[in-house]
Every structure is written in C-alpha cells, then in structure tokens.
Structure 1
Amino acid sequence: MTTETTEAPVELTRREAMLAKLESLHEEQAKAVEAGGKYIERHRQRGKLTAHERIELLVDEGSAFLELMPLAGWGSDFAVGASMITGIGVVSGVECMIVANDPTVKGGALNPWSLKKSMRASDIAEQNHLPTINLTESGGADLPTQKEIFIPGGRGFRNITRASARKQPTVSVVFGNSTAGGAYVPGMSDYVIMVKEGAKVFLAGPPLVKMATGEETDDESLGGAEMHSRISGLSDYLAADEHDAIRQARRVVARLNWRKKGDPPAPTYAEPDLDADELLDLIPTDLKEPFDPREAILRIVDGTSPGPGGNEVPFDEFKPLYGSALCVGWARLHGREIGILANARGVLMSEEAQKAAQFIQLANQKDTPLLFLHNTTGYMVGKEYEQNGIIKHGAMMINAVSNSQVPHLTVIMGASYGAGNYGMNGRAYDPRFLFTWPSAKSSVMGPAQLAGVLEIVARESAEKKGEVFDAEGFKGIKEMVEAQIEEQSLPYVLSGMVYDDGVIDPRDTRTVLGICLSVIDNQPIEGAMNFGVFRL
C-alpha cells in the first residue's frame, strides 16, 4: 500500500501564515479593549458607559468607525491602547476626529504614549480639516511620568485654540473628571457639554484647595456640571445623563453647517475585478521572495466599468517597460482618482527612482492623491550603481516625495528597509495616513544583513589590530543581534511606538483607504508648483 502525499500550494501556505498573523493581531487588539480589566464592570456598576460604548452611540448608525493607533503603547510598561481611543467617525453626517479617554485604565490618566497618540490625532484633524469631539473622563497626567508629559503636553491646548481659529471646532463632552491641566480641554473648546452629577472640572480638587488656601469645599460647588452651567458659564449644555450628553453632541455637530470643500467622487463605480479575500494568498512567508503588487492593486481599486467616465482598465500603468522594479500608474478607489507607486521587486535602482520622481510630479500637476505600497529592501548598492548615480537618483525621488503637496497614503505590505522607506513615503515624510499589514517589517536594513555587516566590521577591526577574529565566538552575538532586529522590525513594535496609524487586515485595505480618501476631500487638493533642485 502506498500513501500519496502532495505539497500544499504556495497560496495555501501564504494564507495559513497570514491567518495566523491575523489571529495574533485580533488578540493584541482585544488587549486594548479589555485593558481596564475588573474596573470595566465597576465602571458599569456606577451607571457609566465605557469609552467604546460612548463612541458607538455617538457615530451614525450603520456607519464605520476607523479606529486609529489601537496598539499604541504595545511593548511598553503601559496598557495597550494607552488609555485612549482615537479614530474617525461620521457624526450627524459629518466626518469627525473622535478622542475618548478610557477611564477604566488608571482613571484615563495620560501617559507618554497617550500623549503621542493624541498629538497624532490632532495632526490628522488639522491636515484633513476635521472637527474634533473629545469624550472626556480623565484624572489628568500619569504623575510618575510627568516629566515626559508636562512640557510637550502644552501643545494639546495650543492645538485646540489654533483649530478654532481655522474654523475647525472642538466639541468636548465631559462625563467625569477633567482636572488640573485637563480642565483646559473644555476650557478651550468651542462647545462644552457636561453630564449632571458626573462631570467634575476644576484646576485643583477639594483636598488640594484646602491644602493650598485652607478653603473647605466640595466637588459640585467647586467644579460640578450644574455649577459650570449656572454660575461659571464654562458649560454650554447640561446633560441629564450620558445618553443625553451624546444626543446633545450629535445635535451640536448637526448645526455646524459643515461642508466638504474638495471635489466629489464619481457617483458610480465598480467593485474590484478580483476578490479581496485572495489578498491573504499574496504575501510570501519569506519577504526576500518578491511578489507582483499588481495582484494587490487589482483587489483594492475600482474595477472595470465601461461607458462614459468609466474605468476601461482598473489600473492604467505608466512607463511599464522602464524601471520595472517599481510599478506606477493611475486608478480609482471608491470613485476617486489616485496615483499608485508599488514595489514590484524589492530593490530600487536609478531607473525606478527617476520614474518615481516623474510620476510624483505628474500627480502634483493634476492634483491627484498618491498611494504608496511598500515592499522594498532599499536602494541598490555596489560600484556599478554608485558610478551610475544611484545616490543622486535616489535623492531625486526623495526630493519629489518631500516636496509633493498632494495627499499621500501609505500601506506597508511587506518589507520597508533603509532609505527605501523614505523614498516610498514612510512615516518621516508625513503621509496623511500610514497603515501596515501584519506581514510588514521595517528597519534600517534586514536583520541578516545588519548582523552580517556587524560581523564584517568586527572582523576588519580584529585584522587591523593584528588579532585573530573569533568567528565561532561572534556567532552567538550575530544571532542575538539578528533576533533583536527581527523583533524590533515587526508591525506591533512599530504600531506601539505610533509609527503607523494601525495594523490592518489586508482584506480591509480598500475600505480603510476609501474612508481616508473621503476625509481628505474635506478641503481642495492643490499639487506643488515647485520642487527642490534635482541633481540630474
């Protein structure tokens, strides 16, 4: 009797690997939702809604809430999520930045990662001209880390007032504590709603007032919602309870007279020609193995739709025979025109860099947003490439990326190493939004390459000193360094440090990018008129 065995198809192996990564991702995201532990039930027993429940009631029924930076603080001493929820939701038909303290995690106290997360949320709101809704219940700064929070934290108050000057209002809904520096959040907001017998807004609580001035007082007379609604005037609306506060917040937003200033998308468009579920089959388990990004593009962008104004082809590739390691072209996504740059093979050479620079200029010429899809090991090295001008050509591409004024979106699908991360519009180049897939890796170079470079340097150093290089002894160091770099390049680490706006399921890419493009349309798109000097 013989047993017949067949090797699993490549696609099945890739799918299983991606599904395992997604299962791990869901587990990490669940840690943020459950970060309050036993305090969640205690919070509910007090008749309070959780931060997630408040958001769910605030956004329009049936609409999506795009949570941003849910893994902030991952790998640190603080809870995953950094005691705060941030994201974009539609409230009374208006896209808003929503920032909610999670009072079940250390009373919603702000730590260094929540500060970084809130500053990023503020930047997104400014760049995309979004109103902001603060769902406030926080004990203020995490005092043991105050030295990391106090000075930079002042920018938060500045940002609220500058947003108001740009006619970009902030609505604060105060459910509980908003003390000390946190009192200035409602104090500087355009609209303030306070929950009766819940909100407490004061610069110093009763114990500190007694210690500082000797005055005896209580929470309500010092900073309660009724006092601020009837006497100080800090509160604009007094809510009977949390549900009423959320209802009033929706009413405030409905009366903002908010209008998008960008061009509307095409009224109709086709869904992708290929199945988005097959994105799970795309990414190799070994990122050194290339894959065709067109397979991803055709599962993300609008499909073929013949007729006037339709897509004759989903992806209209530009310069397809030149610099073929970089695939660039035009497409539509949810009816919006975009330009796409995607790494077809990991390395970027002079041809790819020059092609990218030209394409970026063209996108700016016709005011079209750009989408960067990463899978790059960086720019090519070696004598031949240096002599052919790889530095100046790479600089040309980075120049174009740096000075481009159209909105940029970035998705890191696979590798994103070295200066390739910069040329492909990594975090340092201020994309409007940046997301990673669970398969992503990003660092100065691949772990094996970095460890190998250290070995070469150590070997040359020993030879210069006339010593014998201990290759066997260095093997342990090399393995340790390689493991360390591998760990530091993983998406959870980068997401925990707020170097992306979230790790997403590849199948959700089209929806996530569609929300981002809709948000970008809050104001007109105007491409750059000038670029820096290109070294030709």
Structure 2
Amino acid sequence: MSADTLQHHLVQPYKSVVSKTSEEYKRNYEEWQPIVEELHERLEEATAEGKEKHIKLHKKRGQLLARERVDLLLDEDSPFLELCQLAGYGQEDMTLGGSVVGGIGLVCGVECMVIASVPTLAGGSMNEASVLKGGRLGQIIYENRLPVINLQQSGGANLEQQFKVFHRGGGGFRHQAILSKSAIPSCCVVFGSSTAGGAYTPGMSDCVIMVKKQAQVFLGGPPLVQMATGEVTDAESLGGADMHSRISGVSDQLAVDELDAIRKAREWVSHLNWEKKGKLPLRHLQASFEEPLYPADEILGVASANIRIPFDAMEVIARIVDGSRFSAFKPLYGVNLITGWAFIHGVPVGIIANNNVLFTAESNKATQFIQLCNMKNTPLLFLQNITGFMVGKRYEEDGIIKAGARFINAVSNSTVPAITIMMGASYGAGNYAMCGRSYNPRFLFSWPNSKCSVMGAEQLTGVLDLIMRQAAKRAGIDIDEETASGRKQMFQSLVESESDVYYTSARMLDDGIIDPRDTRTVLGFCLSVIYNEEVKGGNLYGVSRM
C-alpha cells in the first residue's frame, strides 16, 4: 500500500452537516450575491489603464498596453495571481493599483514576479500607492525567492507627491541590490522613457533589455541637462536604447520591437536553470491530488456573509482541502479553535481556524500545534474569523494574558511559512494571534465581507462613550445628550469605514480581496510559490509566562 493510499485510508473525509435546502444556507447564499458582485465590479475597474484618449495615443505610437505586455510574457494559459489590485482605491491623489500591475505567473515554466508600469495611467509615474505596493511586492519576491521581471515605462516620481514618494521610494533600489546579492535574478525590459529614479530600476537589474527607438533611460532629461549644464542634446542621443546598447553598456540586449523584447525576456528566464529549494510533494507535481468532495460554490451557503453571525469553519475547510480529508488535533479541547492537518493541491498544511472567541484552552492548543508544525516543517494556514480573546474577571484569573502571550510568541517565532485568509471579523489581539499583517504571513487575502480593526465599531464606540460618562461623573459635569449622541454616531461611522475591507485593502493591509469560491485555487498557487525557498521550522522558545 502506497503512502498516499494509506493516508487516504486512515483519514476519512469530513461529512458535511449542512443542508443546501435549509433556510440558513439559502439566506447565506442570497446575502453573498451582492457582495461578490461588488467585488468583481471593483476588480474589473482596477484593470482599467487610463482614459481612452491616452490609450488611443499610446496605441497610435505602436506600443502595447501594460496588461498586453504581461499576457504576452506569461506562458500560454498560465495562472496569474495579481496582487494588491485595489491599492490606492478611493484615495485622493492616488491611481487605482498605483499605476502598476503586479503578480505571479509562469514564464517558461518558472514562477516569476511580473511588475509592469502602466504608462497610460498618469504616465506611469509613481505616487504613494505605487511606492507602498512596490515595497510589498519586493517583500514577496525576497521571502519566496522569485525571479522578477520589470516591464518598465515610467515618468518617474509624481513630483506633486515628492515627499510621499522620495523618502520611501529609494528603498526599492536598496531592495534590488539585496536581491542581487541573494542570487534572486532580475530582468528589466524598458519599453519607453524611464527618467530619474526610474533609471535605477534597469541600472540595478541583472539583465536589461531595451526597445530600439522607444526606450530612453537617463537621470535627467534634455530640459534638466540644459538647465543644469547648458548642454543642448536630444533624448535619443542622451539616453536612447541604441546608445545604451553600444556605448554606455547599460543595456544588455537591444530589441527591434516590443514583441522581440518580450521574446528576449522569456529567453532570459529559460537560461536561468532555475530550481526550487523546497521539495514539493510528488502528488502536487503530478497533479494527482483529490478534489474536495463538496463544490467551492457551496462556501457561499455554509459561511455567513454577516460577520455578526457565526458559522462552522470546518464546513469551509471541507471545501478547500484535498478529498475533504482533515486530521484534527485536540478536537475535544479548546473547541472554539480548529487545528489539524490536511493537503491542499497535494501540499501538506497545518490549519488553524476560528469558530469563536479565544479562551485559555484555545490559546494553549494553538501554541502546541504551531510547535508541532515547525517540528514537521509544515506550512501554516490561518483562517481568521475572530472577535478576540475572552475578557472578564474569571478569565484574567485563569491566566488569559499568559496563554495569549504564548500563542502570540509561537506565531511570532514560527519559521514555517504562513498564509492567512480573513473570512469575517478580525479584531484586536485575535488578529495578532491569527497571524495578521504585522505578523508577516507570506500571503494574506481577505474575503469581501471581512472587517479588521481594534474591535467592532459598536463595541469601540460604546467603550469610549462609557469612559466619557465616567470621566464626566467624576468631574461633576452634566452631559449634553444630543451632542454626545452626535459625536458617538460620527465616531462609529468613522470606525466602520476604516475597518471596511476596501479601505484596508486600498492601504495594502492585505495582498488582495478574493471571491471565497477562489480560496482553494489561490491557496494552491501560493503554496507552490513558497516552496521556491526551503520550508523549515525552527525553535519557538522565547521568554514565556508558563
């Protein structure tokens, strides 16, 4: 009997207890419809590449659009996991997506980060969203050891946002130098003008390809040169592709046109002799894993769209793991937290999922489970739907702070890669313990119903109102109820807007908002990506209040 057959024999599929004909299932499914429709509308909006007149002018010059360049670079039928699509959404002086298309796809069979500036959107110039998005993409490149291909045509920094762009933007060049030192290959294809800071992206790449009579790279364009030195020159002589290929040596390859440039970039990848450092299971490589017993579409019926209404995370797990098989760890202890092992697209994972608030038992259970996953070199998957740790006199006496500290200690010091999915609420220290953004998961995605803040808007507003009343009573001051009520409503509205998933995603507190039905597909791709680097656990022990 093979190991795979034995595993399937020992771990029985989870039997769903949800009826598709129940009123709860129907209500959930119905409530999800406008939420996922809004998501797809906004994601479609994020694919726009500027005003029609700018697009027409760009095409008139014989140039491809940014997304066309990406499509031609990727292998035919390659998946493309686009990241931070809604960066800058709804923010003044920002372009949607930061004038950058960024994501992971296959180039000559190699998983690569592809970053394309959008020249038809504010000239491809960088604003604050561009810088923050570039920083996050750079972190993903480094942590997951991904070759990177920059498709460059940018006007450089948006000078009206120089303060927001200049100080943090320089870190991108430092990051390129670190990538090179770490033997993570980079290629820059220059399709048009790349000025000032934009010149350092090709300047610091391992390989540079420039398009003849289109690409221009210089620290200062002809007007700046004339103003600074009195020298009069034209753009082609100053920094054209031909000059850089024949004289300066900044360019390594001179392409006759954009299609040739993309072909040369693919050729560069084909000669990398790239291999993953992590050893993916054979079942993943051969795509011989089982699909879940239950269709992904059922997630909309088993999970509540309303974060105030709890749902059983096990029903979601059964619809994302191979064969719906899940080996539970301590199923009768700390029952508000589900822990256990499964496979997703043939890759082993340790899953930690919330079913309710965290008590001491749940915290102790999670700490032990994270230790075991590190011993087994098994990646972690956090499925967040958490209002936080339990509060109250009894629980403080029971040592909830110590237990929570051990949980957070384990998450902080765990060295196996983690992926986090926000399925609903993500509040307070529960966000921290369940590997929120500040705990550096390799990838973090949100469902479109999720909300994230220090606590729920009603609870936070109520706490502040109570504190205000207690302070007024101590001071002997009468409260103007009408003013207090107005202030309370304004603050609650503010908290609700700031905890909204589109607000947090616009500020890159996640790597994107996904349709719940795409969760398994996204996880499978991310798990493959993290194995570009060795997956290895480590010692979790720091100071711990036992």
Normalized against structure 2, the TM-score is what? 0.93
Query: Does the 8 A contact of 1:276 with 1:300 survive in 2?
Result: yes
Quick one: structure 1 residues 109 and 24, their matched pair in 2 at CA, closer, same or farther if it must change by over 3 Å? same
1:37 maps onto 2:57 in alignment: no
- Give the match for residue 414 of structure 1: 424
- Give the match for residue 382 of structure 1: 392
1:26 maps onto 2:40 in alignment: yes
Q: Secondary structure at the match of 1:451?
A: helix
1:329 maps onto 2:329 in alignment: no
Query: Does the 8 A contact of 1:22 with 1:438 survive in 2?
Result: yes
| Structure 2 unpaired stretches of 5+ | 1-20
- Give the match for residue 286 of structure 1: 306
Instruction: Provide Cα deviations, 1:230-263, integer angstroms capped at 9, x if missing partner.
Output: 1111111111111111111000000011011111
Instruction: Provide Cα deviations, 1:452-484, integer angstroms capped at 9, x if missing partner.
Output: 011101111111111233344422222222222
Quick one: structure 1 residues 469 and 285, their matched pair in 2 at CA, closer, same or farther if it must change by over 3 Å? farther
1-structure distance, mates of 2:116, 2:362:
43
Q: Secondary structure at the match of 2:98?
A: coil
Query: Does the 8 A contact of 1:85 with 1:102 survive in 2?
Result: yes
- Give the match for residue 90 of structure 2: 75
Query: Does the 8 A contact of 1:265 with 1:334 survive in 2?
Result: no
2:100 pairs, out of 84, 109, 112, with: 84
Instruction: Provide Cα deviations, 1:110-164, integer angstroms capped at 9, x if missing partner.
Output: 1111101001001001000011100000000010111122122111111111111
Shift of 1:8: 8.8
- Give the match for residue 461 of structure 1: 471
- Give the match for residue 204 of structure 2: 188
2-structure distance, mates of 1:96, 1:290:
39
2:175 pairs, out of 131, 147, 159, with: 159
Query: Does the 8 A contact of 1:135 with 1:172 survive in 2?
Result: yes
Query: Does the 8 A contact of 1:172 with 1:185 survive in 2?
Result: yes
Partner amino acid, structure 1, of 2:436: G
- Give the match for residue 497 of structure 1: 507
Decide which moves more: 212-221 or 417-426: 212-221
Q: Secondary structure at the match of 2:273?
A: coil
- Give the match for residue 199 of structure 1: 215
RMSD over aligned CA atoms reads 1.3
1-structure distance, mates of 2:49, 2:289:
41
Shift of 1:35: 4.5
Shift of 1:288: 2.0
2-structure distance, mates of 1:115, 1:181:
12
Q: Secondary structure at the match of 1:226?
A: helix
Partner amino acid, structure 2, of 1:19: Q
Shift of 1:210: 0.9
Counterparts of 1:386-401 in structure 2, within 5 Å, are 386-401=396-411
2:161 pairs, out of 145, 156, 169, with: 145
- Give the match for residue 49 of structure 1: 64
Q: How many residues align?
A: 520
- Give the match for residue 307 of structure 1: none
Q: Secondary structure at the match of 2:323?
A: coil
The sequence identity of aligned pairs, in percent, is 54
Counterparts of 1:130-279 in structure 2, within 5 Å, are 130-267=146-283, 268-279=288-299
1:95 maps onto 2:111 in alignment: yes
- Give the match for residue 65 of structure 1: 80
1:298 maps onto 2:309 in alignment: no
1-structure distance, mates of 2:172, 2:219:
17
Partner amino acid, structure 2, of 1:20: P
Query: Does the 8 A contact of 1:173 with 1:192 survive in 2?
Result: yes
Normalized against structure 1, the TM-score is what? 0.95
- Give the match for residue 492 of structure 2: 482
2-structure distance, mates of 1:457, 1:443:
19
2-structure distance, mates of 1:352, 1:40:
55
- Give the match for residue 308 of structure 1: none
- Give the match for residue 11 of structure 2: none
